[in-house]
Amino acid sequence: MLAVLVGVWAPAAAASAAPAHEPCPAQRDAASCDADGDTVPDTVERVVAGTATGATGREDADKDGVPDWTEVMACGTARCASPTTDSAGDGIPDYARILTCGSAACYTDNTDSNRNGVPRWASVVICGTTECATGHEDYDADGVSDAIQLAACVKPRGDLASTGQAIAIWLIIAFAAGLIVTGVMLARKRALFAAAVRPSGIA
């Protein structure tokens, strides 16, 4: 599901409406420079295409559905992110978590939404940044927005925690039941043994 929806919006599409931008002044933060105004930082475009203005936003060298520029922003190269790697097991891919809150282990969920009400992590999957999705994107044209479909994949961490807690409780109950059954069996054997060794003349 996630692999189908990723990379459906190219930032270069926004550049056609944007005015031509001058190269960033030397004193500006290099990470924020965007000479062609396509929302992809120049430093990322250089990794993807070799120049500050050469990337289209649709490049996908490893054909995994995650655009190269998104992978570079998440983990440094055009082949490092996977749409299916989910260390937390909650339905949010690691690369989206990294771009949303800074690491593959940080906490984000459907309540952490952008100004359009789209979960920030889902916006990363839909179009590459936490703010770009509007909530109207429908890649598979099924009448259900991509944001809703992605949000439905998420298992809240509270549920994950309660699942683990329930498992622990059932293990404790099973262990206690085992101890009780073992104790009853030992007590019964002890009584039978005592009866067997008791002299027959004693009442």
Are residue 20 and residue 99 in the same domain, yes or no? Answer: yes
pTM exceeds 0.75: no
Top-confidence range, 24-33, 47-56, 153-162:
47-56
The answer on pLDDT for 65 being more than 50 is yes
Are residue 27 and residue 63 in the same domain, yes or no? Answer: yes
Decide if 12 contacts 55 (C-beta within 8 A): yes
Are residue 101 and residue 198 in the same domain, yes or no? Answer: no
Are residue 44 and residue 141 in the same domain, yes or no? Answer: yes
Predicted confidence at residue 118, as pLDDT, reads 92
> 157 falls in which pLDDT band (50, 70, 90)?
low
Are residue 7 and residue 93 in the same domain, yes or no? Answer: yes
* pLDDT tens column, 78-123: 898 888 898 888 888 899 888 888 888 888 888 888 888 999 989 8
> 163 falls in which pLDDT band (50, 70, 90)?
low
Higher pLDDT, 71 or 194: 71
Are residue 50 and residue 135 in the same domain, yes or no? Answer: yes
The answer on pLDDT for 69 being more than 60 is yes
- Domain of 192 in residue numbering reads as 156-203
Decide if 54 contacts 79 (C-beta within 8 A): no
Count of domains in the chain?
2
Predicted confidence at residue 108, as pLDDT, reads 84
The answer on pLDDT for 4 being more than 50 is no
Are residue 44 and residue 92 in the same domain, yes or no? Answer: yes
**For helices 42-49 and 68-75, angle between their N-to-C axes, nearest 10 degrees:** 120
Amino acid at 36: D
At which residue do the structure tokens 């749409």 appear? Answer: 83
* pLDDT tens column, 114-152: 888 999 989 898 888 888 889 999 888 888 898 888 888
* Region of 109 on the Ramachandran plot (φ > 0 left; ψ -120 to 50 alpha; else beta): beta
How far apart CA 81 and CA 168 sit, in angstroms, is 34
> 17 falls in which pLDDT band (50, 70, 90)?
very low
Higher pLDDT, 4 or 75: 75
Decide if 55 contacts 48 (C-beta within 8 A): yes
User: What average pLDDT score do residues 59-65 get?
Assistant: 89
How far apart CA 127 and CA 2 sit, in angstroms, is 12
- DSSP-assigned states of every residue in the chain: -HHHHTT---THHHHTTSPP-PPPPTTS-GGG--TT-SSS-HHHHHHHHSSTT---S---TT-SSS-HHHHHHHHSSTTS--SS--TTSSS--HHHHHHHHSSTTS---TTSB-TTS-BHHHHHHHHSSSS---S---TT-SSS-HHHHHHHT---HHHHHHHHHHHHHHHHHHHHHHHHHHHHHHHHHHHHHHHHHS-TT--
The DSSP bridge partners found for residue 113 are 119
User: What average pLDDT score do residues 146-160 get?
Assistant: 76
